[in-house]
Structure 1
Amino acid sequence: MKLEIVSPEATLFSGEVTMVTVPGIDGEFQILNNHASIVSILTKGSIKVVADNIHIAKESLSKFEKINDTTYHLPIQTGTLEMNDNKIIILAN
């Protein structure tokens, strides 16, 4: 599935992923391929991105924490998420 993470300053990530975990207002939840359409408000926490081949632009790399070769975390304060047709768009602050 396709993931795009956008902040007010720039696009932080755009690429194919296998799983995304986000901090929802009612708790952390996970999105996998073919997830039902959803819109959600995000709270303070970390977006966890898992992909077989992650490529993060050099100018955004300092915002992410590398966990291992396939997993990165991005701390956020707030945000919104929309998932539709295997495309996730996250607007994060």
Structure 2
Amino acid sequence: MNLEILTPERKLYNGEVYGVQLPGVDGLFEVLEKHAPMVSALKAGRLKVLKDKNGSESAAYLIQGGFVEVFHNKVTVLVEGAVPADTAR
């Protein structure tokens, strides 16, 4: 599936992924390939990109609040701000 992470300033990530873990307002949830269409609010927290099925390759971002839309095997994450988790202070 395709994942796109957007902030008001720039496109932070765009690529094919196995799944993504997101900090929803009601708790952490995960979206995998062929997930049902949905829209959800996100709270500030850690977003984890799962690049492959066995989880050996991943990336993480610390995000501010925003929204996620899942539609036709594409996940679009719209957030107020985000930074790679390994560079956050």
Measure how far apart 1:69 and its partner are.
5.8
- Runs of 4+ in structure 1 off by over 4 angstroms are none
Question: 1:2-81 counterparts in 2 under 5 A?
Answer: 2-52=2-52, 70-81=57-68
Q: Quote the residue 1:65 is aligned against.
A: none
* TM-score normalised per structure 2: 0.83
Pairwise CA RMSD of aligned residues?
A: 1.3
Measure how far apart 1:15 and its partner are.
0.3
Distance 2:56 2:13 in 1: 16
Deviations 1:33-88 (A, max 9, x none): 00000100000101100114xxxxxxxxxxxxxxx861111101101000001000
* Identity among equivalent pairs (%): 42
Aligned positions, number = 78
Higher relative contact order (CA 8 A, sep 6+): 1
1:89 maps to 2:83: no
Q: Structure 1 regions of 5+ residues with no counterpart?
A: 53-67
Distance 1:41 1:47 in 2: 13
Q: Structure 2 regions of 5+ residues with no counterpart?
A: 81-89
* TM-score normalised per structure 1: 0.80
